[in-house]
Amino acid sequence: MRRIIIKRRKLVWGGVALLGLCSAVLLFATNFQLLRLSSSDIQRTTWASPNISWSLNPSNTIVYTGSGTLANETALTSVLNTAFSLWSGAQYQSTNVNTLSFTQGADNGNTSFASGDCVNSIGFSDTLGATGTIALTQVAVVFSTTPGSPAGSYSCSTGATPRTCPNEVCITDADIEFNKSYNFYTPSYSNPPGGYFDLQTVATHEIGHLFGLDHSGLANAVMFPYGDSGTGGIVHILSLDDEIGSAALYTNSSITSMAGQIQGTVSVGGNPAFAAHVVAIDAATGNVVTDTLADNNGSYTLRVFQGNYYVLTLPLATDTSGDSTSNGVTTIYNYNGFHSGYPSSTAVTNFTGKFY
């Protein structure tokens, strides 16, 4: 059994034109975590149970007094519960798509966001600085070093220990830190000051990481890695891509009869097109539904609901320097946080987009 900490961030991307731009250009996404992409043993990263508890970390009191826009703990709790409910209540054609449920526990007295305590803390942090990171979710996982075997027991510094991971990979702890270098507002503020971020949108994004989602490349998805301040950055509904992601990780049996998948292989010059961006487009509406990245064999699986789809393959951006604000597109950098094995140096990008 091995333990590792992974971090996902939501990043500021200036410019209100982003959403419009990217809904047309389409980037890339992955709906679920892939582990050890260098091997054939690819695993999703989930909690062992879909019933996940969380608690506020009141030691970071800035949320109540510092920014001046969040009146009290009640307001914060309300926003978080709404965000959690978006995920647990996700439906497709009036049918629940996942089995997620979330329970708020008593406030915890931790003085830091400890990844080894098996307590899912949510609060505000002053350690992130004005780095462009709006919020951060630190996710700890255990995984087996023997493919096909469960990770087994692991220890926690707080509460019951040891605990057991019955799967090859389990999330053991996930802490959400809102960056108090930035200002946030709740939906009750109808006219937020410029530069403020909608806390509910940011929380919904981070909760996606908390239960195992990686970023989406679809600009209408709450798991899109960039956020805007102001009312233009508000995302209060889940996209189909978000819903499919949650269903892929915690499938509700009720939707299996409506669900399917598109599988294929992308190759360039006869070689696997590792990290090719593959997008499913609804043939009837022309709307982008979901997308993913090809694995190291060039293979991809798009999980979709019943329907007819076109498939679009695109190269990732070639900028490997990180989250670029200069070219306005997301790169493979956005997908390497969960040690999913997407090395930026080996993404195959020497091809042009193709529509099928």
Q: Which residues bind Zn ion (CB under 5 A)?
A: 8, 10
d(CA 35, CA 153): 19
- Please report how close the Cβ of residue 356 comes to Zn ion at its closest, in angstroms: 29
* Residue with smaller CB distance to Zn ion, 8 or 277: 8
* Residue with smaller CB distance to Zn ion, 56 or 136: 136
* Residue with smaller CB distance to Zn ion, 8 or 303: 8
* Residue with smaller CB distance to Zn ion, 84 or 309: 84
- Please report how close the Cβ of residue 15 comes to Zn ion at its closest, in angstroms: 18
- Please report how close the Cβ of residue 229 comes to Zn ion at its closest, in angstroms: 16
* Residue with smaller CB distance to Zn ion, 205 or 303: 205
Count Cα neighbours of 42 within 13 Å in the Cβ-side half-sphere. 16
Question: For residues 301, 332, 336 and 179, what is the CA-based torsion angle, rounded to 10 degrees?
Answer: -120
Q: Are 280 and 262 in contact (CB under 8 A)?
A: yes
User: Which 8-state DSSP code applies to residue 93?
Assistant: T
- Please report how close the Cβ of residue 319 comes to Zn ion at its closest, in angstroms: 18
Which CA distances in Å does 182 have to 17, 130, 148, 172? 21, 7, 43, 28
- State how beta strands 95-96 and 2-12 pair: unpaired
* Residue with smaller CB distance to Zn ion, 10 or 180: 10
- Please report how close the Cβ of residue 323 comes to Zn ion at its closest, in angstroms: 11
* Residue with smaller CB distance to Zn ion, 166 or 322: 322
Q: H or E stretch including 79?
A: helix 73-88
- Please report how close the Cβ of residue 321 comes to Zn ion at its closest, in angstroms: 18
- Please report how close the Cβ of residue 309 comes to Zn ion at its closest, in angstroms: 26
Helices (H) and strands (E) in the chain, counts: 5, 21
Tokens 């609901």 appear where? 305
Residue 63: CB atoms within 10 A of its CB come to 24
Which of 171, 176, 233, 234 is closest to 206 using CA atoms? 176
Please give the distance of CA 251 from its chain centroid, rounded to a whole number: 17
